[in-house]
Amino acid sequence: MKDLWVFEKEAAGKGCRDIAGIDEAGRGPLAGPVVSAAVILPATFRHSDITDSKKLSSNKRQQLYDIIYGHAVSIGIGIVDPIEIDRINILQASLLAMAMAVKNLEPRPDYLLIDGPFPIVSDLPQQPIVKGDALSISIAAASIIAKVTRDRLMQTYHQYYPQFDFPKHKGYPTLAHREAIRKFGCCPIHRKSFKGVKEFVNAKHPAKIRRTR
């Protein structure tokens, strides 16, 4: 079996104690925020089911979310809304959300393991790891926390914009979601700079969006 503690052990060998894994959820959707999580796990933590959140069922992610929160030394969340995504682009918004998540950790970590090829703005030592959510247990745990947190936010948005059925697709560009945008236009949480949305920003629609709450 793959040792998901390899990067954490390497950092510990350099004298680091509080090592945070950081990942994001929601780069691809047409609606909703991008959400990042930073997770510091105790060195004694072990759980064979923790892996990249995309490989897990929704029910398994929910279970592991509770387990991670029950054992983590610290968890930080960073959220960047669609307005800011449109302003600075999704890559920069993702990196910003990651930096926010790190700042929300207590205690302050000694070392960062970042999912993906890009570093974040931080004075802390860090290591970007491509496909890190499949290679590092801390990043995998962060991917689960970020995904579940974002999914729950999209379920909340459904209370206000039920026309789009956000709990079903979480804002991703499914056929049903794209058809709803054609029919109703954009709601306030749509990313107006994204293809599949920007074409309908100023279009007139016979069916108007109704905020229900």
Please tell me whether residues 47 and 151 are part of one structural domain.
yes
Give a yes or no: residue 83 inside a domain: yes
Query: Tens digits of per-residue pLDDT, 150-199?
Result: 999 999 999 999 999 999 999 999 999 999 999 999 999 999 999 999 99
Cis peptide before 29 (omega within 30 of 0): no
Domain carrying residue 183 = 161-200
| CB-CB contact of 115 with 139 (8 Å) | yes
Cα–chain-centroid distance for residue 34? 6
Bridge-based pairing of strands 19-25 and 126-129 is unpaired
Give a yes or no: residue 144 inside a domain: yes
Please tell me whether residues 76 and 171 are part of one structural domain.
no
Q: Number of folded domains in the chain?
A: 2
Please tell me whether residues 136 and 195 are part of one structural domain.
no
Neighbour tally for 46: CB within 10 Å: 12
- In a 3-state reduction of DSSP, which class is residue 132? helix
- The answer to whether the pTM exceeds 0.75 is yes
Show the tokens assigned to 130.
Answer: 């491509």
Burial annotation 74-100 (CB, 10 A radius, 16+ → b, else e): bbbbbbbbbebbbeeebeebbbbbbbb
CATH number at residue 64: 3.30.420.10
| Span 102-125, average pLDDT | 98
Bridge-based pairing of strands 19-25 and 111-115 is parallel
Query: Tens digits of per-residue pLDDT, 31-64?
Result: 999 999 999 999 999 999 998 898 999 999 999 9
Query: Tens digits of per-residue pLDDT, 53-112?
Result: 989 999 999 999 999 999 999 999 999 999 999 999 999 999 999 999 999 999 999 999
